[in-house]
Structure formats: structure tokens, C-alpha cells
């Protein structure tokens, strides 16, 4: 019953947000629409780590590996096919395959959580250096030149499915990205409420007990890792649609750290938390970047320290606990008056 109430609340909230997404272009100027588009794309990326870390218990320091692979896969496919539909499929498929191979050797190889984080971080560094060394005409896939540290410019953006000649406007691209964020969020809510979701949470809480109950923790962890890779790759495609450009900096360690910060600040173990953390921090970075007085990295570091010390659960769980703490108090306040009425 509690799960159904939570899903109903999520559906109602998502419907309200969806209306806001669709209406935004009529009330917000183009510059802000472009900013909102990249914020929403990065929020999808935050959800990918929020899911595998918060619910699967897998701390991946290299989520940018799948994000970057999805972005490059989309860019290469879009240039060669001149159509964004198969490009989006490739942006999801390539990271899933990579996550399956990497996750299999790590998870089935018995790599501990700490070393898993180190390995994924190292993989991001390797991919960054590999892609950074692809300058020159020799490094190309079909018609797409990888470009090395210069990246790939002029990437075809989203078009209407089945009609490559119909290129979506920035306002339409925002609507697609905003609705995609809502769909990913609701999809993960349904997945977590399912039997699979309950199993991965049980494995996170006590892996030995779950194994004794007949579940293979390695299999469920691998599937969780792959789902996170697919979402991150999809986020990469959404991000490319915003700027029509990709470079090796998409694999940078700085972005990997930011994703972890988003989840910590928003609240690990929730889905809305990473979204809140991402949107809040992205807005702050953008606002700080408009002036030269304060350093953005210094401010972000200070905020992270404050949250770790004072709000260790994150924004979403803390607000939830405050609301739940108020409910019994209200009941207890009304109890004496009711008793007096009866008397």
C-alpha cells in the first residue's frame, strides 16, 4: 500500500512537472531554455549513479566512461546515418555492452567495492587518453573523424523519428530532454518497486543473506551496473544534442567527482535526490561563472564539506524525515482536545 501511495505521488508530481516542461518555452527565453536543456541532460546522468550507488550499493567513480561512450557513439552514428534515431540506440547500446564486459570481470572476479571504484576511475582516465590521441585523418569511423583533443564539431542534433530532414528546434529539444528525464525517473521508480528492485536493495543491505535466500548477488549487481551504463549513455546523447559538439573532456575526472557530489548533496538512496542535487549545483556553478569574484571549485568544495558534516543524509532524505517527524506531532497535539470533547 505504501508503495502504491508513493507511485501515485510520483505520477502526480511527474505530470505537474511535465506540464511545466511543455509550457516552459512559452514563458522562458531561448538562452534559459538552452541552460535548462543541459541541466536536464546532466540530471539524467545523476540518476544513473543515484540508481547503481543508492540502490545497488555500487560506487562507480567512472560514470563518465559510459556518459562519454554514449556521447561519442551518438556523434559517430548521427554523422554516418544522418539520423538521430539509430544514433540514440547506439548511444545506449555501446555503453551497455561496455558495462557488461567491464562489470563481468569486476563483479564476477570478486573485486571489492573499493577496488571497483578505483578500476572505474582508471577506465575513465584510459578512455580520456585514448580519445585524446585520435587526432588526424587516420582516426575516423566511417565519415566521422574523431578529432583527438579538438573533438567532433557539427554533430547532427535530434530530428523527428523517421524524418531526418525535420530537425528539432532548441525549444523542441528541451521538451524532449525534459520529458526524457521524467520518463527515466518514473522508469526507475517502477523498477525499484518491482521484485528486481527489492532484490538489489536486499543485496545492498546484506549480500550474504540474499545469497542464502537463493539469489546470485553477482548477477543482480551486473544487471544493475548495466542499467546504470545505459542511462548514462542516454544522458550522453541528450548532452550532445544540446551543444552539437563532443570532446575528450567529457571523460574528465572533474565531471566524475561532480556526479558523486550531486548524489551526496541530493541524497543517496533516493531518486529525486540526485536530480535535486544536480540541478542545484549546476545552477550555482552557472551563477558563479557569471562573476569573477568567487572561484566555483572553492564554493563547491565548501558546500560539499558543509553537507557532509551538517546534512549527511542529503537534501531529499532530510526533508522527508522532517515531514515524517511532524506528522506524529500533529496527531499528538490534537489528541488531548479530542479527549476533552469526549469527556
Top pLDDT among 81 and 334 is at 81
Predicted confidence band of residue 339 (pLDDT cuts 50, 70, 90): very low
pLDDT in tens, 71-82: 999 999 999 999
- Give residue 328's pLDDT: 61
Residue 338 within any structural domain of the chain: no
Residue 69 within any structural domain of the chain: yes
Q: What is the dihedral of CA 62, 65, 70, 75, to 10 degrees?
A: 140
Predicted confidence band of residue 120 (pLDDT cuts 50, 70, 90): very high
Using the predicted structure, report yes or no on whether residue 295 has a pLDDT greater than 70. no
- Collect all residues with Cβ–Cβ distance below 8 Å to 52 and sequence separation of at least 6: 58, 60, 224, 225, 227, 228
Residue 278 within any structural domain of the chain: no
pLDDT in tens, 194-225: 999 999 999 999 999 999 999 999 999 999 99
Top pLDDT among 18 and 288 is at 18
Of the chain, the percentage scoring pLDDT greater than 90 comes to 71
- Give residue 336's pLDDT: 47
Q: What domain count does the chain have?
A: 1
How many secondary structure helices (H) and strands (E) does the chain include?
13, 4
3-state DSSP call for residue 166? strand
Distance CA 173, CA 56 (A): 31
Distance CA 129, CA 132 (A): 5
Residue 140 within any structural domain of the chain: yes
- Give residue 48's pLDDT: 97
Could you tell me if 88 and 144 are in contact, meaning their C-beta atoms sit under 8 angstroms apart? Answer: no
Could you tell me if 177 and 186 are in contact, meaning their C-beta atoms sit under 8 angstroms apart? Answer: no
Domain encompassing residue 241: 2-252
Distance CA 132, CA 126 (A): 10
Top pLDDT among 111 and 78 is at 78
Rounded to an integer, the average pLDDT of 92-102 is: 97
Residue 142 within any structural domain of the chain: yes
Residue 55 within any structural domain of the chain: yes
Rounded to an integer, the average pLDDT of 44-61 is: 95
Residue 60 within any structural domain of the chain: yes
**pTM listed for this prediction:** 0.91
Top pLDDT among 286 and 188 is at 188
Residue 191 within any structural domain of the chain: yes
Could you tell me if 262 and 274 are in contact, meaning their C-beta atoms sit under 8 angstroms apart? Answer: yes
- Give residue 334's pLDDT: 45
Rounded to an integer, the average pLDDT of 120-134 is: 94
- Collect all residues with Cβ–Cβ distance below 8 Å to 110 and sequence separation of at least 6: none
- Give residue 338's pLDDT: 47
Distance CA 250, CA 65 (A): 8
DSSP assignment of 5-30 equals HHHHHHHHHHHHHHHHHHHHHHHS-H
Rounded to an integer, the average pLDDT of 127-139 is: 91
Predicted confidence band of residue 292 (pLDDT cuts 50, 70, 90): low
Distance CA 144, CA 310 (A): 49
Amino acid at each position: 500500500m505504501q508503495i502504491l501511495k508513493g507511485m501515485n505521488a510520483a505520477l502526480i508530481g511527474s505530470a505537474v512537472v511535465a506540464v511545466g516542461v511543455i509550457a516552459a518555452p512559452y514563458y522562458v527565453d531561448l538562452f534559459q531554455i538552452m541552460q535548462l536543456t543541459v541541466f536536464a541532460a546532466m540530471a539524467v546522468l545523476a540518476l544513473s549513479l543515484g540508481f547503481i550507488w543508492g540502490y545497488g550499493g555500487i560506487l562507480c567513480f567512472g560514470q563518465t566512461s559510459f556518459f562519454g561512450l554514449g556521447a561519442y557513439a551518438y556523434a559517430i552514428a548521427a554523422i554516418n546515418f544522418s539520423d538521430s534515431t539509430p544514433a540514440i540506440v547506439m548511444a545506449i547500446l555501446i555503453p551497455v555492452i561496455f558495462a557488461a564486459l567491464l562489470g563481468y570481470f569486476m563483479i564476477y572476479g570478486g573485486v571489492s567495492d573499493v577496488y571497483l571504484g578505483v578500476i572505474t576511475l582508471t577506465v575513465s582516465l584510459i578512455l580520456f587518453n585514448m580519445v585524446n590521441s585520435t587526432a588526424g585523418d587516420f582516426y575516423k569511423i566511417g565519415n566521422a573523424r574523431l578529432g583527438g583533443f579538438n573533438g567532433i564539431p557539427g554533430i547532427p542534433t535530434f530530428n523527428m523519428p523517421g524524418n531526418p530532414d525535420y530537425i528539432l528546434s532548441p525549444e523542441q529539444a528541451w521538451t524532449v530532454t525534459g520529458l526524457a528525464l521524467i520518463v527515466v525517473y518514473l522508469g526507475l521508480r517502477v523498477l525499484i518497486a518491482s521484485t528486481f528492485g527489492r532484490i538489489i536493495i536486499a543485496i545492498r543491505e546484506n549480500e550474504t543473506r540474499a545469497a542464502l535466500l537463493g539469489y546470485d548477488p553477482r548477477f543482480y549487481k551486473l544487471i544493475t551496473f548495466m542499467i546504470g551504463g545505459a542511462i548514462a549513455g542516454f544522458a550522453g546523447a541528450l548532452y550532445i544534442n544540446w551543444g552539437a559538439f563532443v570532446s575528450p573532456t567529457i571523460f574528465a575526472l572533474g565531471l566524475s567527482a561532480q556526479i558523486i557530489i550531486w548524489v551526496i548533496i541530493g541524497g543517496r538512496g533516493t531518486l529525486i535526490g540526485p536530480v535535486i542535487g544536480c540541478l542545484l549545483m549546476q545552477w550555482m556553478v552557472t551563477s558563479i561563472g557569471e562573476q569573477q569574484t568567487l572561484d566555483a571549485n572553492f564554493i563547491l568544495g565548501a558546500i560539499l564539506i558543509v553537507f557532509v558534516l551538517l546534512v549527511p543524509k542529503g537534501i531529499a532524505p532530510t526533508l522527508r524525515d522532517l515531514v515524517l517527524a511532524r506528522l506524529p506531532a500533529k496527531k499528538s497535539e490534537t489528541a488531548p482536545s479530542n479527549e476533552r470533547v469526549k469527556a
